[in-house]
Chain A
Amino acid sequence: SQTIHQWPATLVQPVGSPLSLECTVEGTSNPNLYWYRQAAGRGLQLLFYSVGIGQISSEVPQNLSASRPQDRQFILSSKKLLLSDSGFYLCARGVGEIGYTFGSGTRLTVV
């Protein structure tokens, strides 16, 4: 199984509050993991990817950060949320040759 678990499913947070979204994956060890954001009316944007524990690469400068404390755990964080951080956040695993699997997503609304 290559199942991906994401929580929470929905989140409403005030501007300036911290954020922690968690993603855990099942299946083969040492997966490549990704955080994507889908803003309203826009496509999917890659935010971070990780090829191993403690290895994080950022695709776009932003108010968010990511960490990978365990092989199958990927966390998206912020110290102070902005209104522009609202969106639908998706965790994914995969590599090009095999394909990609996505989690069910977290709907974040910053108010």
Chain B
Amino acid sequence: KQEVTQIPAALSVPEGENLVLNCSFTDSAIYNLQWFRQDPGKGLTSLLLIQSSQREQTSGRLNASLDKSSGRSTLYIAASQPGDSATYLCAVPFYGGSQGNLIFGKGTKLSVKP
């Protein structure tokens, strides 16, 4: 059974710092891994989708890495800003039968202080 874990559960940093969020998964046979952002009371916004054949994906100040063999992914945020404050979730798709759904970690709540 696939399980996804995110560490730390919460993180507070001063503005301008570079930071790393961690995600681990127990079953390395994944298609891909997706990082999401959730603002309080809002839906999920997809940040990066990294395929199993890829090692990295970049979007602006965000960089996601994937190491399937070790069951780990990291989300690197460069030069953090107060607007980056949100909960960050990682998820991998699970296949049972003919459909797929996402298995989520419980998220890392990030607070960037001005």
Question: B114: which A residues are within 8 A, CB to CB?
Answer: none
Closest Cβ of chain B: how far from A18's Cβ, in Å? Answer: 24
**A44 interfacial by beta-carbon distance below 8 Å:** yes
Known interface pairs A32-B99, A49-B99, A105-B42; A100-B104 also in contact (CB < 8 Å): no
Stretch at the interface among B30-38, B67-75, B78-86: B30-38
* Number of chain A residues close to chain B: CB under 8 A: 26
Question: B91: which A residues are within 8 A, CB to CB?
Answer: 100
Tell whether, in the assembled complex, residue A105 and residue B32 are in contact, meaning their CB atoms are under 8 Å apart: no
Secondary structure of the B contact surface, majority rule: strand
Question: B99: which A residues are within 8 A, CB to CB?
Answer: 32, 49, 51, 57
**A46 interfacial by beta-carbon distance below 8 Å:** yes
**B26 interfacial by beta-carbon distance below 8 Å:** no
CA of A44 to CA of B38, assembled, Å: 12
Q: Which of B45, B101, B102 neighbours the largest number of chain A CB atoms within 10 Å of its CB?
A: B101
**B13 interfacial by beta-carbon distance below 8 Å:** no
Question: B41: which A residues are within 8 A, CB to CB?
Answer: 88, 105, 107
Tell whether, in the assembled complex, residue A97 and residue B31 are in contact, meaning their CB atoms are under 8 Å apart: yes
Question: A95: which B residues are within 8 A, CB to CB?
Answer: 93, 100
Question: A44: which B residues are within 8 A, CB to CB?
Answer: 89, 102, 104
**A104 interfacial by beta-carbon distance below 8 Å:** yes
Question: A32: which B residues are within 8 A, CB to CB?
Answer: 99-100
Known: A34-B101, A101-B46. 19 other contacts (CB 8 A): A32-B99, A34-B102, A44-B104, A90-B44, A94-B100, A94-B102, A95-B93, A96-B32, A96-B100, A99-B32, A99-B34, A99-B46, A100-B46, A100-B93, A100-B102, A102-B44, A103-B43, A105-B41, A107-B41
Chain B residues packing against A (C-beta within 8 Å): 31-32, 34, 36, 41-46, 49, 89, 91, 93, 95, 98-102, 104-107
* Subset of 10 A-B contacts with CB under 8 Å: A6-B43, A32-B100, A43-B104, A43-B107, A46-B102, A59-B101, A92-B102, A99-B46, A104-B42, A104-B43
* The 6 nearest A-B residue pairs measured at CB: A96-B93, A102-B44, A96-B100, A104-B43, A99-B49, A96-B31
